Amino acid sequence: MSARAQRRARLLAQMAAGAVAVLPTAPEVARNSDSDYPYRHDSYFYYLTGFTEPEAVVVLAAASGATPARAILFCRQKNLDREIWDGYRYGPEAAREAFGFDEAYAIETLDEQMATLLCDAPALYYPLGGKLDARVAGWLAAVRAKSRTGVTPPASTVDLLPLLDEMRLLKDADEQAIMRRAADISAAAHIRAMRAARVGVHEYELEAELLYEFRRNGAQAPAYTSIVATGANACVLHYSANNAQTRDGDLVLIDAGCELDGYASDITRTFPANGKFSEPQKRLYELVLAAQAAALQAIAPGLPYSGAHEAAVKVLAQGMLDFGLLQGTLEEVIANKTYLQFYMHGTGHWLGMDVHDVGQYRDVTQADKPSRALRPGMVVTVEPGIYVRPAEGVPEEYWNIGIRIEDDVLVTADGHAILSANAPKTVAEIEALMRHD
């Protein structure tokens, strides 16, 4: 049984006997005129199917009594004329065989088939509150119209996505292998950008180096819009213009990762445009690096997800006091959250098919909803930073310095593994890599 067939079986096992689940993929989106944006499948749909064509729906019917469970795909029919223009289409029969479905039908038959599949089903699972709502209402009305024959529509609807969120949170061996490779490709891209950096280079030139390395190693696309920020731009957390020119004395912050076979990587490195950290830059950089090291020590099975952030904040806040960015005691700075002036985001997030991947960060099964415990197979980013904008009372030597260091980290049975370890991050490593002798 394939990995995706196993996932479908696991999902079916969580559903009520005889219940039906419905999940569509993402629609194509027009960019302008007759051009579409590059198509990207829905992550949930891909997780269960591996199928990447648009106009597709997966239906899972749970076993009931002697009736076995069924996995059904609805997709576009073969169309040789359209294939001339748009490329290969599987068609239902080839898709059924290639992706391990029990049945497959043309997408045009979905409404008719659902009006039958939902007859006497006790519950319908689907993404509540989305674009499918109106269509579901039509299916239920079609079943109710048959009430004189004795059939009944589902008595309840259940949000399908929370079940899938919990499944996706734990990556299996195949997923981990893809994410390792994605991180390797992205690490190579960061190295390429560092080597290409010079005073006077434009941010978009460095972005081009990243994109080239992604594609030449088989990644399908960037996992998100790359951030290439020089100088003061590095203090803009979601900077995306990527059009400024580096100046002597600037730091360059690059937050970029590729998507490989549906899985994201997410790496940030910060380096001097001229290849040599100034003393103020070095002090803050090594502070962020120490904060990351402290956060990494808090990642192991059984430890709370929030522990990494708490560890990083403690180190960063103490450094802010030591370097004169803040005044007071460590306890006051943390209690009053005055450190937020220079560190205003969390220290990480789940990583997987989506860059900010799905899954609860708190244990919602407990009344006080504490931070959930880490488990082997979870993948998180660890990304402390410091961003010093000009302000009264802030030492001028630190103005416009923005630094973030981010790695992709797999929780293992005995601790953690840094998937993105190939990307250099110590001062010595970066300066040696960028030496242009």
pLDDT at 437 over 80: no
Q: Is residue 387 annotated as a catalytic residue, yes or no?
A: yes
Residue type, 181: R
Q: Is residue 309 annotated as a catalytic residue, yes or no?
A: no
Is residue 1 very low, low, confident or very high in pLDDT (cuts 50, 70, 90)? Answer: confident
Distances (CA, A) of 260 to 198, 213, 322: 29, 13, 42
Q: Is residue 383 annotated as a catalytic residue, yes or no?
A: yes
Report the pLDDT averaged over residues 251-266: 98
Distance between start and end Cα atoms, the chain? 55
Q: Rg of the chain's alpha carbons, rounded to an integer?
A: 25
Of 42, 261, 383, 408, catalytic: 383
Give the model's pLDDT for residue 147.
87
Q: Is residue 34 annotated as a catalytic residue, yes or no?
A: yes
Q: Is residue 81 annotated as a catalytic residue, yes or no?
A: no
Q: Are 266 and 224 in contact (CB under 8 A)?
A: yes
% of the chain surpassing 70 pLDDT: 100
Q: Are 116 and 110 in contact (CB under 8 A)?
A: no
Of 207, 213, 259, 266, catalytic: 266
Q: Is residue 41 annotated as a catalytic residue, yes or no?
A: no
Share the mean pLDDT of the chain.
97
3-state secondary structure string, the chain? Answer: CCHHHHHHHHHHHHCCCCCEEEEECCCCCEEECCEECCCCCCHHHHHHHCCCCCCCEEEEECCECCECCEEEEEECCCCHHHHHHHCCCCHHHHHHHHHCCCEEEEHHHHHHHHHHHCCCCCEEEECCCCCCHHHHHHHHHHHHCCHHHCCCCCCEEEECHHHHHHHHHCCCHHHHHHHHHHHHHHHHHHHHHHHHCCCCCEHHHHHHHHHHHHHHCCCCEECCCCEEEEHHHHHCCCCCCCCCECCCCCEEEEEECEEECCEECCEEEEEECCCCCCHHHHHHHHHHHHHHHHHHHCCCCCCECCHHHHHHHHHHHHHHHHCCCCCCCHHHHHHCCHHHHCCCCCCCCECCCCCCCCCCCECCCCCCCCECECCCCCEEEECCEEEECCCCCCCHHHCCEEEECEEEEEEECCEEEECCCCCCCCHHHHHHHHCCC
Tell the residue number behind the tokens 């890599």, with chain if given: 433
Of 305, 404, 408, 416, catalytic: 404
Of 356, 375, 429, 435, catalytic: 356
Torsion of CA 406, 408, 410, 411, to 10 degrees: 20
* The token pair that represents 376 in the structure block: 């082997």
pLDDT at 406 over 70: yes
Of 96, 349, 372, 416, catalytic: 349
Instruction: Give the other-Cβ count within 10 Å of 348's Cβ.
Output: 24
Q: Is residue 202 annotated as a catalytic residue, yes or no?
A: no
Of 406, 407, 408, 416, catalytic: 406
Tell the residue number behind the tokens 């001097």, with chain if given: 272
Q: Is residue 248 annotated as a catalytic residue, yes or no?
A: no
**Max alpha carbon distance in the chain (Å)?**
86
Of 70, 192, 345, 389, catalytic: 345
Q: Are 233 and 244 in contact (CB under 8 A)?
A: yes
Q: What is the pLDDT of residues 145-193, one digit of tens each?
A: 998 899 999 999 999 999 999 999 999 999 999 999 999 999 999 999 9
d(CA 207, CA 326): 35
pLDDT at 432 over 60: yes
Q: What is the pLDDT of residues 275-291, one digit of tens each?
A: 999 999 999 999 999 99
Task: Pick the more confident residue, 131 or 333.
Answer: 333
Report the pLDDT averaged over residues 268-277: 98
Of 44, 90, 387, 398, catalytic: 387
